[in-house]
Amino acid sequence: EIGTHFNGHFCAGTGSVGNWTPQQWRSEIDQAKSFVKQWRTNSGWTDVEPLPFDYDKELVGGRTPCLLGQDGLLPAARELGWRYDASSPGGRQVWPVKKQGIWDLPLQQIPFPGRSFEVLSMDYNMLANQSLNSTNAPAHNHPAWRRQAAQAYISGFRRAYETNRAPFFVGNHFEQWNGGIYMDAVEEALRHIAREKEKGGDVRLVSFRQFTDWLDAQRPEVLDRLRTLDVGQEPAGGWKDFLNDGGAGGATAGTEAPNAA
C-alpha cells in the first residue's frame, strides 16, 4: 500500500495544517497525487518504466504532518472515498472506531521500558524522550536507546497479543537518526513479531488498507464487543465464550504493523 504523509510539515504559525479547511486539504491531496501521477514531467526521467499502480485507486488513507488537522481533513477524505486516517494525536491499545465514516487508526501509547510513562508507537517519539529531539546525539548512548526502542515495540505487541488482541500500529520514518537505531529497532520488533507467526501464532502483518478490509468484513456486534476490552484486558471467560455471547461470533484478532508513514 502507498498512502500519503502529504507534501510538507507546515505545523506552525497561521498557516499550520492544524487550521486548514477541508478545501485546503483537498488541494493538498490533489497536489500529492500530481507529484506521483506526473512524476515523469516532474523528474525529467522519461525513459523509466511506469509505476505499477493507479494512485487514484491506491490512495485510500494517510497521516497528517505533526498529527495535526484531522478535523479539517476528514470531510475531504470522506468525499474522496478514503478508508482510514492515521492522524489522531495519540491513542490507546484498544479496538478502533470510525470518525465521520472513516476508520480512525491512531498511533498508540505503549510501554516504555525503564520509564514510568508510556510512549507513542513511533520513532520520533522515542527520539524525543531519549535525546531531547537531537538526531545526532553522542554515539555511546545508541546501543541502550536502540534496545529500549525495540523493547517498547515488542512490549506493545505482547500486551495486545496476550490480552485484548487489539491491532498494534507502528509508525516510522525512513531516517538515520542517532545512527539509524530507530530503523534497527523497528526491524528487530517486526522480526520478533514474524517469529511468533512462524511458531504458529495467530498473527498477521498487514497494511492499513488490508486491516480496514478485515474490519469492514466483521459483524458490527463483534467489533462492538471487542471495543469493550480495555488496554491489557483479557476476556474473563476466554475468547470462545466472549465472542459467542449474544450470538456474535466468527472473529479472530490479528496484529497490524503498517508500512512506514
Cell of 25: 486539504
C-alpha cell at 241: 465464550
Nearest alpha carbon to residue 142 among 157, 126, 120: 126
Cα–Cα nearest to 61, from 38, 41, 77, 44: 77
Q: Are 218 and 103 in contact (CB under 8 A)?
A: no
Note whether 153 and 185 are within 8 A (CB). yes
DSSP label of 227? T
* Whole-number Cα distances in Å, 249 to 108, 146, 223: 27, 41, 10
pLDDT score, position 260: 34
Query: How many whole angstroms separate alpha carbon 112 and alpha carbon 120?
Result: 9
| Beta partners for residue 85, in sequence order | 104
Given this model, what pLDDT does residue 251 score?
38
Compute the distance between CA of residue 161 and CA of residue 189 in angstroms, rounded to an integer: 14
Would you call 4 helix, strand, or coil by DSSP? Answer: strand
Sequence letter at residue 160: A
SS3 annotation, 11-50: CCCCCCHHHCCHHHHHHHHHHHHHHHHCHHHHHCCCCCCC
E-strand spans in the chain?
84-85, 98-99, 102-104, 109-111, 118-120
| Per-residue model confidence as pLDDT tens for the chain (261 residues) | 999 999 999 999 999 999 999 999 999 999 999 999 999 999 999 999 999 999 999 999 999 999 999 999 999 999 999 999 999 988 999 999 999 999 999 999 999 999 999 999 999 999 999 999 899 999 999 999 999 999 999 999 999 999 999 999 999 999 999 999 999 999 999 999 999 999 999 999 999 999 999 999 999 999 999 999 999 999 999 999 998 864 443 333 444 433 333
pLDDT for position 37: 95
Q: What is the pLDDT of residue 244?
A: 85
Beta strand pairing call for 84-85 and 102-104: parallel
What is the rounded distance in angstroms from the CA atom of residue 82 to the CA atom of residue 101?
A: 9
Beta strands in 78-237 (DSSP E): 84-85, 98-99, 102-104, 109-111, 118-120
pLDDT at 245: 67
Classify 9 as helix, strand or coil. coil
- Helix 142-161 / helix 181-198 crossing angle, nearest 10 deg: 30
pLDDT score for 123:
97
d(CA 57, CA 59): 6
Q: 67 is written with which cell numbers?
A: 498529527
